[in-house]
Amino acid sequence: MTSVIERLRGRTAGFSVEFFPPRDRADEAVLWRSIRELEPLDPAYVSITYGAGGSSRQGTIRSIARVATETTLVPMAHLTAVNHSVAELRHVIGSYAAVGVRNILALRGDPPGDPYGEWVPHPHGLRYAEELVTLVCSLGDFCVGVSAFPYGHPRSPDLATDTAHLVRKFAAGADFAIAQLFFEAADFLRLRDRVYAAGCDKPIIPGIMPLTTPRTLAKTVELSAAEPPRWLVDRLLPLSDDPKSFRAAGLDITTQLCEQLLAEGVPALHFYTFNRAKATRELVGRLGLVRTRA
């Protein structure tokens, strides 16, 4: 199984896509239509998310198994420590390995129901993401990714502490990180500079949400835990009742952000898709990120 790191070592920057496991047959049809539409563009890897407390565990395993066995894509499965004992985590990791998945995004995870609520570890589980990284690495030859936060994790007291936490995850065995959403290229580049200054040069991939609707803008605000810059609000909010104009302006803004990041040498762009392919396909085309298979 090809690793994410091997895919990131190409001569030119690439892109990756993130999906979530379907809730029913209709969702599954949408997901697989999107996967098939993106497959010819040869993304560096495809990730499938994992619900809080394992709420979508079986859906994640089933979906990632299909990616591994029925497509030419490189699969990466998410895994969180929320509400799981170490024994349960070992079982999930073994399930991934059994279907040929060797790339895992190891996350502590958010409390179910309220992502900013109090985080309570399982009595027989793990407390920190770095412990989950150590566990995954101890169980086989896995390529492990972790999360990074351009504005700092909401529970970190300051950026220095947050940077130290990320560096510890790398020291525990993580191979790369995916940065949570942000609004301006400089926000991501400052994160990358902080990590490099701390003596770590592992690759960090920026997470990108195509701004196609007011909902995607609101989701970016929620996931970044930061206020959008005034210029962005002034440009997009007046278009909230004009879907076509909002989408056009939002994709122009997203394209400009991606171009700035690519000019700064990022190894890839990680697109959040909401299980739809259209916006990602359009951005990949604009940016010239279609790979030629070897």
Just list the catalytic residues.
Answer: 18
Contact 149, 191 (CB under 8 A): yes
Nearest-5° angle of CA 70, CA 74, CA 75?
80
Burial 122-133 (b: 16+ CB within 10 A, else e): beebbeebbbbb
**Angstrom distance (rounded) from CA 65 to CA 282:** 27
Contact 71, 38 (CB under 8 A): no
Q: Residue 269 is encoded by which pair of tokens? A: 């762009």
Contact 195, 166 (CB under 8 A): yes
Please name the residue that has the structure tokens 């793990």. Answer: 126
Q: Across-strand partners of 15?
A: 269
